[in-house]
Amino acid sequence: MSEALSTRHLLGIDDLSAADIELIFRTADGFKEVLSRPIKKVPSLRDTTIANIFFENSTRTRISFELAEKRLSADVVNFSSGTSSTKKGETLVDTVNNILAMKVDMVVMRHADPGAGVFLSRHVDASIVNAGDGTHEHPTQALLDAYSIREKLGRVKGVKVAIVGDILHSRVALSNILCLRKLGAEVTLCGPATLMPRHARDLGVHVSHDLDETLRWCDVANMLRIQLERQGGDGITNFPSLREYAMLFGLDRKRYEAIGKEITIMHPGPINRGVEITSDVADGAHSIILDQVENGVAVRMAVLFLLAGGPGRSARS
Amino acid sequence: MEPLILLEGAAFGLTVKRLCHQLIEDRGHLGDTALIGLQPRGVLFARRLRSELLRITGEKQITYGELDITFHRDDFRHRPVTAIPGTTELDFSLDGRRVVLIDDVLYTGRTIRAGLDAMLAFGRPRSVELMVLVDRRFSRELPIQPDYTGQHVDSIGDQHVTVEWQETDGVDRISLKHVAR
């Protein structure tokens, strides 16, 4: 067990060691208990100001981060690109440096371009937390997913996890694969060949195009959202119709019951009900979809707490 | 340098018993008392006190909780390592209770300050008293004093006081040693 994170930023799961992830989980356990108290607030980050900069739409992630920050007593400023000077042509580094000039210590950023967080971390003097960068990574989602598996099954090592659906466009998938592999889980990716990255097997995962077979194999199925907004950007559609996708790769009650064993169902949200998963499964007894959302706040509190505190980290003066 | 042993064995047990009797003498009964041990090492003392008190009073139970103060520390940026949180188990309201806050060693007083802060989330106790096994006098950084003390130790900065417990360390012992700076 390490006693401090090995990184100053959280740009991707790639930057974290298994010990880092374990430290985040241990810390999140403490915050989960805090969140069950009548007063769900601790003073740890009362000297820290955090800017949430969202260049892409988000509901769950932004609210989750904001709640995490407020429950750590940090000061919070929110910024979304629709109402900002980026519309007037300001560059990313200028935008962020202007925010930092107002004495901001940490930046939580979502951006449509892969690597935006990495780029920013090289040009500004603040801890950066990646809240999703294009199709690249979404590290806090992967952490809360693995944390939820650990909570439900008591361990992550050796657990068989299926990640189903639009792997190609999914930053959740990449971060999940990296996180689960680091923690010793077995991962199978399942989806149509057109939504599967070409070199997926290089990440140490199995690849399948047969959902029923994959469901029989796994302990946990993480049903990803079909990212309608990222399909066909280059004039190519990746599958013929949503109806056909739902028939081949959607999870409904009938399919679930045919597995012949209990598996845990996850979804990173937002759900396209009736496409990748039907309501009776998403809201059923084996779904931990809302637990994932609940755990998200505790895991994000842990990440912010660990990045803000510890050796060599001090409030900017 | 060999650690200096300040208290061990039977004498150690006597000190714990004396603190229990002192508490009972002061309060008469423990009906509205809540014992709260501070993580990580104060809980070992608190658990011992609880079992001694149950034995002495013949009661079936004493209100008891454990409190972690990691997120309430004022020094989390200044410590050489990140503090790893312990668990808080406090499944009752403190409203109207007479709380005894329990820690093994009282040194600067900062842990107790954080403990008082952390307690606020669980209600408004009628009163709070502090019980420690070891009071390192003359090294306080805050105006906090114990109400019940096992032993006073007059020590200087580069000394370290360690309390070990039969249950977890195999021996009841308080020792003092020099730490290299």
| pLDDT, tens digit, 9 for 90 and up, residues A142-167 | 999 999 999 999 999 999 999 999 99
For residue A226, tell me if it sits in a domain: yes
Nearest CB neighbour to A30, from listed B71, B76, B123: B71
For residue A234, tell me if it sits in a domain: yes
Q: From B149, B176, B155, B174, select the one nearest B163 (Cα to Cα).
A: B174
Let me know whether A110 and A148 are in one domain.
no
How many distinct structural domains can be found in chain A? 2
What is the residue range of A268's domain? Answer: 139-289
Per-residue confidence (pLDDT) for residue A183, from 0 to 100? 97
Let me know whether A263 and A144 are in one domain.
yes
Q: From B100, B92, B95, select the one nearest B126 (Cα to Cα).
A: B95
Nearest residue of A to residue B84 by CA position?
A27
Inter-chain CB proximity A311 and B79 less than 8 Å = yes
Per-residue confidence (pLDDT) for residue A314, from 0 to 100? 46
Q: How crowded is residue A182: how many other Cβ atoms within 10 Å of its Cβ? A: 20
- The per-residue pLDDT for range A77-108, each reduced to its tens digit, is 998 876 566 666 788 888 888 888 888 999 99
Let me know whether A58 and A92 are in one domain.
yes
Let me know whether A60 and A191 are in one domain.
no
Let me know whether A91 and A159 are in one domain.
no
- Best residue in B77, B89, B113 for a mutation probing chain A (most A CBs within 10 Å): B77
For residue A6, tell me if it sits in a domain: no
Per-residue confidence (pLDDT) for residue A241, from 0 to 100? 83
Let me know whether A154 and A192 are in one domain.
yes
For residue A62, tell me if it sits in a domain: yes
| Residue owning tokens 């959302």 | A293
For residue A8, tell me if it sits in a domain: no
For residue A316, tell me if it sits in a domain: no
Q: Give A60→chain B minimum CA distance, Å.
A: 25
Per-residue confidence (pLDDT) for residue B121, from 0 to 100? 85
Question: Has this prediction a pTM greater than 0.90?
Answer: no
Per-residue confidence (pLDDT) for residue A311, from 0 to 100? 47
Average model confidence (pLDDT) across chain A: 90
Per-residue confidence (pLDDT) for residue A315, from 0 to 100? 43
Let me know whether A130 and A236 are in one domain.
no
Nearest CB neighbour to B82, from listed A31, A42, A309: A309
- The per-residue pLDDT for range A196-240, each reduced to its tens digit, is 998 899 999 999 999 999 999 999 999 999 887 776 655 557 788
Per-residue pLDDT for B155 more than 90? no
Kindly report the CATH number assigned to the domain that includes residue A122.
3.40.50.1370
Let me know whether A144 and A276 are in one domain.
yes
Per-residue confidence (pLDDT) for residue A102, from 0 to 100? 86
Q: Give B140→chain A minimum CA distance, Å.
A: 23
Domains of chain B listed by start with CATH number: 12-157 (3.40.50.2020)
CA distances A69 to A27, A50, A73, A108, A292, Å, are 15, 8, 6, 10, 18
Nearest CB neighbour to B71, from listed A5, A29, A34: A34
Let me know whether A118 and A210 are in one domain.
no
Let me know whether A252 and A270 are in one domain.
yes
For residue A1, tell me if it sits in a domain: no
Backbone angles phi, psi at A237, to 5 degrees: -95, 140
Let me know whether A112 and A245 are in one domain.
no
